[in-house]
Amino acid sequence: IMRGCFGGCSFCSITEHEGRIIQSRSEDSIIREIEDIRDRTPGFTGVVSDLGGPTANMYRLACKSKEIEQSCRRLSCVYPGICKNLNTDHSPLIKLYRRARALPGIKKVLIASGLRYDLAVKDTAYVKELVTHHVGGYLKIAPEHTEQGPLSKMMKPGMGAYDDFKRLFDKYSREAGKEQYLIPYFIAAHPGTTDADMLNLALWLKQNGFRADQVQAFLPGPMALATAMYHSGRNPLKSIRRSSGEAVASAKGLRQRRLHKAFLRYHDPANWPLLRETLKNMGRADLIGNGKRHLIPTYQPAGTGSGGGEGKRYGRKHKGQVLLTQHTGLPPDATGRRLKRGKAALNKQRNP
């Protein structure tokens, strides 16, 4: 329903690809497409799986002043706080939701795109509309981390905004008589993330009863500020001189990257040996035990615990192989030599 994003998350390049100014489709155009899907899709069940875009709730949101917008050089309209010049009125989006779900043959319109919950809490009417009518039991949001160190490098809001949204989400779910849940997404090994940061995140996950099934680790990609942090070891969000600048450490080694992912999946027995070793080295052996306050147990289930090795690969035999640096397009013979091109040369090699 729209293109662009003014969030400016440092690990994401949507802003660079689609622009910071939101380009919204007309309401009539969106409704016509929903009707077209309804009428042309064989076996359509009446459920629209996602009515969104790069973000779920930036439809028709923009700067209040065109003059300010033209000269603004902020990387994000919502970080470190929501700009006072940003219009956060979600009324056009609420109107679109109501019109879409009122269409004949449409049973449910779900919102599955990434929701900017720090924007949503500025308009409680939108949160109520969303939670009451457009959540299919689970709503995915992306706090990405709990610690201020990595959050400041990601340009993401703190957990205070998450807590505010969760209170509204739970409140309106109860009022609607529905049992619904938030599914938070987190990222491991982002530039600026320390082992202690990941430990604190793991403790938060355990305290709140989350057991992540699938987790993601940061990979440097084109056109992202976090990629510049990863490769340069400096923070481009602040002043950089030739010989100075805020240093940013990144988890680049295979062992440390696996450790950061292991903290997100603290409940997986395959990660327990690596976590035990790390907690002892960090002086946090008090978190190893079989009680509720402990992060991981002292015991190890049989057949588990091989997931934390560094550089270990399975299903591959590491034997000495002939490394051929010249590619002729022909298979090597038994000695590792490549057949020479040309009919005469081929006959000579095949019939010595």
pLDDT at position 325: 41
pTM > 0.85? no
pLDDT at position 244: 84
CATH 3.30.750.210 fits 1-135, yes or no: yes
Cα 269 to Cα 122: distance, rounded to the nearest angstrom: 41
- The least confident of 29-43, 157-171, 308-322 is 308-322
Cα 53 to Cα 59: distance, rounded to the nearest angstrom: 9
pLDDT tens by residue, 71-114:
999 999 999 999 999 999 999 999 999 999 999 999 999 998 78
Alpha helices for 212-253 (secondary structure H): 225-232
Give the residue among 92, 155, 73, 79 at the shortest CA–CA distance from 119. Answer: 79
pLDDT tens by residue, 255-285:
999 999 999 999 999 999 999 999 999 999 9
Give the residue among 222, 152, 210 at the shortest CA–CA distance from 186. Answer: 210
Cα 100 to Cα 106: distance, rounded to the nearest angstrom: 8
Q: Which residues contact 210 (CB under 8 A, 6 or more apart)?
A: 184
Average pLDDT along the chain: 89
Alpha helices for the chain (secondary structure H): 14-18, 27-40, 66-71, 91-101, 117-120, 124-133, 148-154, 159-175, 195-207, 225-232, 254-264, 272-281, 343-350
Which position has the higher pLDDT, 203 or 345? 203
Cross-strand partners of 2: 24
Which position has the higher pLDDT, 237 or 328? 237
Confidence of residue 305 (pLDDT cuts 50, 70, 90): confident
User: Helices 124-133 and 91-101, interaxial angle, to 10°?
Assistant: 20
Q: Does the pLDDT of residue 129 top 70, yes or no?
A: yes
pLDDT tens by residue, 197-238:
999 999 999 999 999 887 899 999 999 999 999 999 999 999
